[in-house]
Structure 1
């Protein structure tokens, strides 16, 4: 007998999941070797992109009934979208995953506890940047007053789930206000500051502005910008993601800028797909202006500035790709070229640097077991290279790699840094060497 939930789910998939996009999949299997969860589950087809698409279509067509195994398959997906560059048919897997999660959320009618959590997270923190700033200010207070030190020494942190206590240990020191931009330079760019980058990583944002100014860009920071909406979209909250997108487009008045630059790979990918999300000309114009910080620095010849001082390599540096920066925006050469130009370092490619590190937004909190397996595999590659520095292009990846370093007992041997911080310190070295 078909339950009311199963009926609602099938109708919800018909309403929200595109049949046209589903039928793009040819079931060829080129996506399989690129999928981390397929590989980590001993090649379980249900945990592959092809398998998930088959489940979506079968559920939409009424050929299978909704059950926990389908929900598990969708939940365990990282959403890294490594399957997309591997797909010869150009299947829009990321869009299908978001549509499917939206359909599930719409049909399931979550309980009070989940509703409260989603209300706080999606209608509060990640919908109002002022609330995000106030929350992060509490973290700064926690760090600055010594409460953090007492909590760690007393053992209170052991009461938290392992993943959360590990994340607490690698949180960056929260800095004060963002540095204002200077006017009247070569290209006019708007800086998308991001919700976490603008609060938890303010120093990195300040350095982003300084690097852009060194490269000859006029940097503007539009007011009233909000979270990009990626976390909403990836969690099935598509209507709320659209609201954030509309707010950001309005805030940027994008006609005034040559580029809209960002320094977080996950944000950049979602911003670049506003045109697809909203299906308006205004959104498409906005998305066409989105560019990653490394791409913009390369456009200005920043690698040549770093190469201005010849200095013998002293340490090994490697790079962990941001899944979305690479798989959605197609950016992987620019970061490597810039990093390889830094004085005092030898760049060595990490095995499977393009593979997901297991962070995937808040996936490491929601799916700690699978995330941990993927991170452990990632750290095997790190240890093969033995770098002094692991560079990343996304805050989630940065924290995840820091956790990996802690877990492997490598804290005294290497560090993980954001590419902006790495380039900023390298530029300081170059400037000193040029004197």
Structure 2
């Protein structure tokens, strides 16, 4: 709960920092409303729509309302999926407004001691440090391989947790060993004729918990004719920080990554996580007010490209035989890959090129699945409502495989499968792992 003094400081900073021209760009036309999951799932409450949230921000700037708990609640309930942006006739950069507003609020309110401890541990103590990420993942690996996981399930301990958390524990991937996480390459030669020289953004969760997906990514790049450089000094992308009101930390991570990649002389910087890629693409906005970094940030963002896009551009699906046993598949868009990186057709072209696969488009495949970073943990009720709708559309396709392009989406769809009791009939898989399966059938 914010005090009167905190509200006064927040209101002052809203006036100083919020982009009033951007706020005024919203014409209140309502084109964003049908695209907003929280607006729909809240029963069409205006304050939970992009238009309504912008109106609240503008009212705080104008001093009409105070930045109280209701304003903060409205902003916190937003997924940040940015589905409102592509349909906005005025081109309002809603995501930038949301991140700025959240940063102002969280940096100027006094959090409780437990919340402050958790935020500091996660944002400052864990994600910026690769060695600590490996250690945390290693502990999870110990839990999975030591028999503790089996024991906690047999004793019924998991039933003490909320349903969504106990289900999440079931869908976590089998994590790699500490040795595998430490022995990472920094250079990989192309397999065959070289077509491009690229750098790979390996990420933090992707290079620990989802290590095999990173390995699949680099293998596909090699097969596509890419020479790959993987800088050791790269850092977390900063998306979790930027979306959660920790903008200063996000800027520090951005600068570390720009430094790590800018002297590599590569054609592109490749990502395989929609959320990470979208935040990397926004580095030029993040650092726009920093004269020492804004041009360097712009040069960095111009090289960001998703793995599916470069595979498409290099005709991977034409040059590489792709085949799998017959199965029906569908594709769940990563919100940030589609809405920010503008990549939606390339994944579909690649998937439909696989022999033996019957592709069926899901209704509202572009609607958020409800993962949104840690949203499915901190806003569990709304997240599960959104997931239930997504699973209804998924089941209508009769697909046995759901393909997606972001680790959060992947875990959320696995959670949906688990909640629906379909684990023996349906699976969720990252697109690069699925494509490598299709390559393997022809080896």
| Superposition TM-score, scaled by structure 2 size | 0.94
Contact 1:17 1:103 in 2 (8 A): no
Which of 392, 408, 420 in structure 2 is aligned with 1:396? Answer: 408
Deviation per CA, 1:121-146: give whole Å up to 9, x if none: 00011111111111001111111111
Aligned to 1:281: 295
Aligned to 2:258: 249
Secondary structure of 2:27's counterpart equals coil
Which of 349, 372, 386 in structure 1 is aligned with 2:398? Answer: 386
Deviation per CA, 1:275-322: give whole Å up to 9, x if none: 11112100010011000000011111111135x4678x7210000000
Aligned to 2:163: 162
Contact 2:322 2:435 in 1 (8 A): no
Which of 264, 271, 277 in structure 2 is aligned with 1:268? Answer: 277
Contact 2:323 2:438 in 1 (8 A): no
Secondary structure of 2:22's counterpart equals helix
Contact 1:260 1:289 in 2 (8 A): yes
RMSD across aligned positions (CA): 1.5
Are 2:196 and 1:182 aligned?
no
Which of 348, 353, 357 in structure 2 is aligned with 1:341? Answer: 353
Contact 2:189 2:222 in 1 (8 A): no
Contact 1:319 1:390 in 2 (8 A): yes
Secondary structure of 1:344's counterpart equals strand
Classify 1:261/1:113 alpha carbon distance in 2 versus 1 (closer, same or farther; 3 Å). Answer: same
1:101 deviation in Å? 0.2
Which of 419, 428, 432 in structure 1 is aligned with 2:440? Answer: 428
Aligned to 1:53: 54
Contact 1:172 1:200 in 2 (8 A): yes
Which of 291, 308, 311 in structure 1 is aligned with 2:305? Answer: 291
| Separation (CA, whole Å) in 2 of partners of 1:410 and 1:395 | 20
| Separation (CA, whole Å) in 2 of partners of 1:122 and 1:310 | 42
Secondary structure of 1:316's counterpart equals strand
Matches within 5 A, 1:26-105: 26-105=27-106
Which of 232, 235, 239 in structure 1 is aligned with 2:241? Answer: 232
| Structure 1 stretches of 4+ moved >4 Å | none
Secondary structure of 1:219's counterpart equals strand
Aligned to 2:291: none
| Separation (CA, whole Å) in 2 of partners of 1:169 and 1:402 | 9
Which of 225, 228, 232 in structure 2 is aligned with 1:223? Answer: 232
**Segment of structure 1 superposing worse, 177-186 or 249-258:** 177-186
Aligned to 1:111: 112
1:194 deviation in Å? 0.9
Deviation per CA, 1:30-75: give whole Å up to 9, x if none: 1111111111111111000000000001011100122221111111
Structure 1: gaps (5+ residues): none
Contact 1:254 1:286 in 2 (8 A): no
Classify 1:381/1:5 alpha carbon distance in 2 versus 1 (closer, same or farther; 3 Å). Answer: same
| Separation (CA, whole Å) in 1 of partners of 2:287 and 2:164 | 35
Secondary structure of 1:256's counterpart equals coil
| Separation (CA, whole Å) in 2 of partners of 1:310 and 1:246 | 42
Contact 2:188 2:227 in 1 (8 A): yes
**Segment of structure 1 superposing worse, 174-183 or 82-91:** 174-183
| Separation (CA, whole Å) in 2 of partners of 1:257 and 1:390 | 33
| Superposition TM-score, scaled by structure 1 size | 0.96
Contact 1:226 1:247 in 2 (8 A): yes
1:11 deviation in Å? 1.0
Secondary structure of 2:300's counterpart equals helix
| Separation (CA, whole Å) in 1 of partners of 2:146 and 2:5 | 53
| Separation (CA, whole Å) in 1 of partners of 2:167 and 2:24 | 42
**Segment of structure 1 superposing worse, 210-219 or 180-189:** 180-189
Contact 1:127 1:226 in 2 (8 A): yes
Deviation per CA, 1:325-354: give whole Å up to 9, x if none: 000011000000111111221110011000
Matched residue pairs, number? Answer: 428
Secondary structure of 2:188's counterpart equals coil
Classify 1:78/1:210 alpha carbon distance in 2 versus 1 (closer, same or farther; 3 Å). Answer: same
Aligned to 2:121: 120
Structure 2: gaps (5+ residues): 289-293
Deviation per CA, 1:168-224: give whole Å up to 9, x if none: 110001124266342363311110001110000101111111100000000111011
